[in-house]
């Protein structure tokens, strides 16, 4: 008879944040090993003049509370993904969603770079670790990392990654970068 190993499961809560239509729901959907909980609702005439869908004209739904997914990394690590709603009228929920999180992925659409500033400010003000993930939409102008970092006024220790939210492997690389960044900050703070 084999002795069973005692493995302690480490759950980590990760937020996925950013502006309206930047790919938060797509990332959670592509990464989750379980059917994700999505709170998407159809966009109606009430959103005209409130939600700027000009850059994402095919967008028919929007997140109104949160998205939730789960990723089992190995026998000891599990990530819980919480996608935040992007519109300012839902920002009051971010404090509850952020409670107990290890850090966040801030998605950026370079066609609408200003939309990511509220998320970056939120995590900087609360001193929560975050990575900036440029979601590379087709037809987006190419900018080098130094130009993007300068435009976002990112501190040197904030990771900047490029990704495709539709691809799980791309999302996994982003999440690994976040977890490594959060661990490095925790280790530095303990020293």
Partners of 80 in the beta sheet? Answer: 13, 70
Which residue from 157, 147, 159, 31 is spatially nearest to 83, judged by alpha carbons?
A: 31
pLDDT-derived band at 46 (thresholds 50, 70, 90) equals low
**Residue 95: in which H helix or E strand, if any?**
helix 94-98
Task: Please give the Cα distance from 95 to 126 (Å, whole number).
Answer: 10
Q: What Å distances lie between residue 110 and 5, 25, 136, 144, CA to CA?
A: 47, 18, 8, 11
Q: What is the dihedral of CA 29, 35, 39, 40, to 10 degrees?
A: 50
Condensed to tens digits (0 to 9), the pLDDT of residues 51-70 reads 555 556 565 555 555 789 99
Task: Return the domain boundaries, the chain.
Answer: 10-190
From the CB of residue 82, how many other CB atoms can be counted at a distance below 10 Å? 22
Condensed to tens digits (0 to 9), the pLDDT of residues 93-142 reads 788 888 999 999 999 999 889 989 999 999 999 999 999 999 988 878 78
Summarize the confidence of residues 75-102 as an average pLDDT. 84
- CATH C-level class of 10-190: alpha beta
Mean pLDDT of the chain: 84
Condensed to tens digits (0 to 9), the pLDDT of residues 159-188 reads 999 999 999 999 999 999 999 999 998 888
């Amino acid at each position: 008879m084999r002795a069973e190993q005692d493995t302690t499961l480490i759950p980590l809560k990760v937020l996925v944040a950013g502006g309206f239509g930047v790919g938060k729901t797509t990332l959670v959907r592509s990464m989750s090993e379980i059917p994700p909980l999505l709170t998407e609702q159809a966009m109606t005439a009430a959103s005209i003049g409130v939600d700027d869908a000009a850059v994402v004209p095919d967008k028919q739904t929007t997140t109104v509370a949160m998205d939730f997914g789960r990723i089992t990394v190995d026998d000891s690590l599990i990530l819980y993904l919480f996608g935040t709603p992007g519109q300012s009228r839902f920002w009051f929920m971010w404090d509850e969603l952020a409670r107990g999180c290890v850090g966040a992925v801030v998605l950026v659409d370079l066609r609408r770079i200003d939309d990511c500033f509220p998320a970056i400010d939120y995590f900087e003000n609360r001193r929560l670790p975050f990575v900036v993930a440029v979601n590379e939409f087709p037809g987006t102008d190419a900018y080098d990392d130094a130009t993007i970092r300068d435009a976002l006024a990112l501190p040197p220790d904030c990771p900047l990654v490029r990704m495709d939210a539709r691809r799980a492997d791309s999302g996994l690389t982003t999440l690994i970068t976040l977890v490594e960044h959060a661990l490095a900050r925790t280790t530095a703070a303990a020293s």
